Structure 1
């Protein structure tokens, strides 16, 4: 484009200051400046988020570049291409002409091409006596040369941001995996601590991220997840150190044998030893047990502890965790939803009949485990229905194991949470 020459658009299309600025910048093009058209096009594709152009607009630009006879764009080879909309449509994979016009306007607005309209708005070229092109009317590709350094810099910024985002995703994934595994280990080993609350906090952090999070959102979630991981690690290390300290029989009251055969401390059943003796939510027998149960129910909210007549305890888990592990159970709740324990127990009755579990087997499970845990087990059996031949026989077996202190609801729930992707969901 000749210095000082301004081209206005044909017809009703209005002139804008942005178009004027693009033409002024293109007028500064030096004769020795050039750029590989496909290299700059790849940079444009990488930098498109910062340039405000879409994939389809770039497809139209790709078609325009294909009409330039040389791979190198320079003033010497001519910078104006003049294909018809019909030819552009063929090289844009059959894109409609109206769509092509819209994307051409986007490219002009972004300052990547310049309109050089003829007096009648048609695109054509006049050839000189020697057959070379003298003057052409169409679209000038000069801005691609003038803005080559800017476009490459923007592409580098996008690439750096992409690498930064990828590293944040990797760090968050590793940290999320660490937290999930540590909580799972603590729950399966029945270690003292409010691990259900820690798991709920973990799930809140994971689910708070949108499907396509930004780097800032991942960084905030990563910081919170690292804090949670450090807290869990410190608690587990404290338990390990406490176990080493209290390992001496002279220091550990569990190794002191009571010579009185009527002592209540020697009559605690195996189930309490399995699930209560090593738990921060342990329930002592008789009066102390009822007081501790009331305190734990107040502090843990949705989680409950079932105390049997013989003084043993089998704790249930938060309703949200149960529904996270067993989403199919929701379909059998009153009105197709479950909002409280009463709804879950009502759904368990429906599922019991559907799976062919006898009322006697379910009633026995409710007596031994507690109504909340019995309903939870039915939800787990429903979720694993394809792997269980006899739901009634399986429930009776779990009931017998619970009586002997050999069954815990926690590992079953955590296994189903993992199967639902609770510990492996990616960020973004």
Structure 2
């Protein structure tokens, strides 16, 4: 067994040495090795202090040390590492041992416990005692595969949460419409079942199994409500058959339910039903996307950097939830806002609030947006007036 530097052999340290031997037979670029571990650092239990320490050790290695048949040894002194990190000696030793236990470095000390090394005229290591970074050469592929798996799981979780949100909003809109419209049916009982499912939704994003079960329950409830709703309105049988076909052929993971847009000016009790219309686009409220760009240049610039080029209202809508996070707007707050204002007006409201926040005009963005939602409920919110007032002010300032 390789000398582990006066340390008691543990399964982690022994495994690290075995990885080091494998890494000697590989040619892995230095940049690939460090990027691979950084991508999954938090997932494998690394703390920021340990990642910083590993970065410093990497800086001592040279590109040729990572070629096949070589082992990237580094031999900085404890004093140098303490100066660079600010660690005390006990803390430094603890973090170094943790890197070894994680299988990221191996220890190769001289018989007297000193670290030193020599290179030949071509810069290749001919003798060295210190830290061996070879385990990362052996594990770079493994860590990259782990990162891909994490990204796939994260994307699946995000999609699942989107399905939950869409289904939940569709059910709530139908229940409100049926109850307020006085439609015949056991709507209160369905509302209780709906609230019970919501109360048992998992709080942790990691509980994917529980989220799938909740989505399946909500989907089944949605179809029950739609069938009862259609029956109460006495819709044509062909429309019912279409709904039943969707129920039979669609499983919960495939279901795509668009949120229902409630029209408060017309009753569904009328015999003639009108097709649902999307939220009013902002240009229908008196301003264009180009005008919005002029009024909110800082918002557009950051949104472009984070989400890509914004070519119109659809791109703005897609970027708005992520941009809301920049000013403390949680996903739940965003969902409530879109319910109260509509999707496109919410996107405009986020942009205006962001612009005012960085200008120092708004100290509490979440509270400001809640105030806008209250104005919308009583019919006094006018986004067009806000847009043109800000545009006029900016032009006056320019003059």
1:240 aligns with 2:236: no
Match of 2:136 among 144, 153, 168: 144
Aligned to 2:111: 119
Match of 2:18 among 21, 24, 27: 24
Alignment: residue pair count:
245
1:176 aligns with 2:174: no
1:158 aligns with 2:150: yes
1:9 aligns with 2:1: no
1:193 aligns with 2:189: no
CA distance 1:15–1:30, shift in 2 (3 Å): closer
Counterpart secondary structure, 2:66? strand
Taking the aligned partners of 1:130 and 1:48, their CA distance within structure 2 comes to: 34
Alignment gaps of 5+ in structure 2: 238-266, 268-370, 379-399
Q: Report the TM-score, using the length of structure 1 for normalisation.
A: 0.49
Aligned to 1:46: 39
Alignment gaps of 5+ in structure 1: 245-273, 275-383, 389-410, 413-428
1:63 aligns with 2:59: no
Taking the aligned partners of 2:8 and 2:42, their CA distance within structure 1 comes to: 26
Residues 328-383 of structure 1, C-alpha deviation per residue, up to 9 Å, x if partnerless?
A: xxxxxxxxxxxxxxxxxxxxxxxxxxxxxxxxxxxxxxxxxxxxxxxxxxxxxxxx
Residues 109-143 of structure 1, C-alpha deviation per residue, up to 9 Å, x if partnerless?
A: 12111011233333322456898643222211111
The 8 Å contact of residues 46 and 159 in structure 1, kept in 2 or not, is answered as no
The 8 Å contact of residues 37 and 140 in structure 2, kept in 1 or not, is answered as no
Q: Report the TM-score, using the length of structure 2 for normalisation.
A: 0.52
How far does residue 226 in structure 1 lie from its aligned partner after superposition?
A: 1.1
Taking the aligned partners of 2:186 and 2:56, their CA distance within structure 1 comes to: 62
Taking the aligned partners of 2:89 and 2:187, their CA distance within structure 1 comes to: 62
How far does residue 99 in structure 1 lie from its aligned partner after superposition?
A: 3.6
CA distance 1:34–1:105, shift in 2 (3 Å): same
1:224 aligns with 2:217: yes
CA distance 1:17–1:122, shift in 2 (3 Å): same
CA distance 1:17–1:192, shift in 2 (3 Å): same
Taking the aligned partners of 2:177 and 2:126, their CA distance within structure 1 comes to: 78
Between Structure 1 and Structure 2, whose CA radius of gyration is higher? Answer: 1
Matches for 1:333-344 after TM superposition, within 5 Å: none
Counterpart secondary structure, 1:28? helix
